[in-house]
Structure 1
């Protein structure tokens, strides 16, 4: 028997793909402003350091507003309230992300393109990088890769939606190529799958945002401890 719950409209799918790609580029733009170096800018570098953070914040506000606006119209169901069950799923998701990191981090390369880009941003504005990593990224990435993607694509096939959301999340963090750090890519794919599962089970975007926030916070704290920044 043919599933009629959601009618397949090729033009709508193509439109959603184009808009999704546009929103992804928009989400990436703010931090890209902070990836220039003194070698590239020469004498203009001092002025760049003064104005680039301001431009980043302004563009980030614009990007976030647009992405949130689209999400509110994309979600096809009413957001469920946080309950005891929701918190249990959040707790389980956080434990799973911690286990993924413990199992994969020791086998990752010391650096990759994503890490190098973050280092460039840190050189220009460590404050913005920390704020983005802990607070902004969990919100915008979850809204984009879970809240919008899972409401636009494979709506009637939740397993496929969760899997592809995870694969896409892994790909944008570690584009698949001959020199890809596949352990790093795998960790991001598994993280994306867990976050997609949390969103699907809770029907509340704030739940997977919470798990993503805790994952990033624990990663930063773990990195600080390992590098000796925090001493006990």
Structure 2
């Protein structure tokens, strides 16, 4: 089935990109080589995923409708605004009701890495968002919704998205996952949540550097 091939090749690519730098680090023990490798492999992962998504296509019920480039761009930008607002609200809820720290440990670690290895920005702002959207939105939301209710698929993919970030701010990441799923659902094109995710990461990094 095309859905199996599409999901399988995207998942394998993602796992290789995630695991290879860490396996390489166990041999090299060099932070410099680790982040260089992560950036290079992550960039290669972008092209692989776009290529494999075309070579082994599967148009789930979200992809089956077509949208104009203008709609994709507009929804991607509007999604960024919505994602930023949702992040602020959920972070406040976590701070005041769940007693989570105000600063994201994940973001702090990323900014520390960027301060020492600026080229890692390529991975953070472009590579990671592209690959995460193919996996969590295309595979675990879009493709999975072929078999289960779309809302259930959106919740499942968003929970996985939250767990994958291993940050402690699970509510925030899960809600961001739902926003990205909504953008994908409305745009009928995976490029829309990719745009949202890239712009969101760019905004977060820019605000931290300010």
Instruction: Provide structure 1 residue ranges, at least 5 long, that are not aligned to the other structure.
Output: 1-8, 175-179, 226-232
Q: Which stretch of structure 1 is more off in the superposition, 53-62 or 15-24? A: 15-24
Q: Do the aligned residues in 1 keep the contact of 2:79 with 2:183 (CA within 8 Å)?
A: yes
1:150-201 deviation per Cα after TM superposition (whole angstroms, max 9, x unaligned): 3431225222222212111111112xxxxx72xx111111111111111111
1:2-47 deviation per Cα after TM superposition (whole angstroms, max 9, x unaligned): xxxxxxx9xx87x8887665343223236547978xxx94xxx5xx
2:78 pairs, out of 92, 98, 101, with 92
Q: Give me the CA root mean square deviation.
A: 3.4
Partner of 2:69: 82
Partner of 2:14: 24
Name the CA distance, whole Å, in 2 between partners of 1:91 and 1:57: 25
Name the CA distance, whole Å, in 1 between partners of 2:114 and 2:25: 9
Q: Indicate the SS of the match to 1:25.
A: helix
How far 1:103 sits from its partner (Å)?
Answer: 2.0
Name the CA distance, whole Å, in 1 between partners of 2:198 and 2:104: 22
1:162 maps onto 2:162 in alignment: no
Q: Do the aligned residues in 2 keep the contact of 1:94 with 1:214 (CA within 8 Å)?
A: yes
1:210 pairs, out of 179, 186, 195, with 195
Partner of 2:137: 146
The alpha-carbon distance between structure 1 residues 167 and 52, as it changes in their structure 2 partners (threshold 3 A), is closer
Name the CA distance, whole Å, in 2 between partners of 1:88 and 1:61: 25
Q: Indicate the SS of the match to 2:146.
A: coil
Pairs within 5 Å for 1:1-232? 22-29=12-19, 32=22, 41=29, 45=30, 49=32, 51-52=33-34, 54-72=36-54, 73-76=56-59, 77=64, 79-83=66-70, 85-105=71-91, 107=95, 108-109=100-101, 110=103, 112=105, 114-115=106-107, 118=110, 121-122=113-114, 125-128=117-120, 130-155=121-146, 157-174=149-166, 181=168, 184-225=169-210
Name the CA distance, whole Å, in 2 between partners of 1:34 and 1:144: 23
Name the CA distance, whole Å, in 2 between partners of 1:172 and 1:67: 19
Q: Indicate the SS of the match to 1:137.
A: helix
Q: Which stretch of structure 1 is more off in the superposition, 56-65 or 27-36? A: 27-36
Q: TM-score, normalised by structure 1?
A: 0.67
Name the CA distance, whole Å, in 1 between partners of 2:117 and 2:20: 12
Indicate the structure whose relative CO is greater, using CA pairs within 8 Å and at least 6 residues apart. Answer: 2
How far 1:115 sits from its partner (Å)?
Answer: 4.6
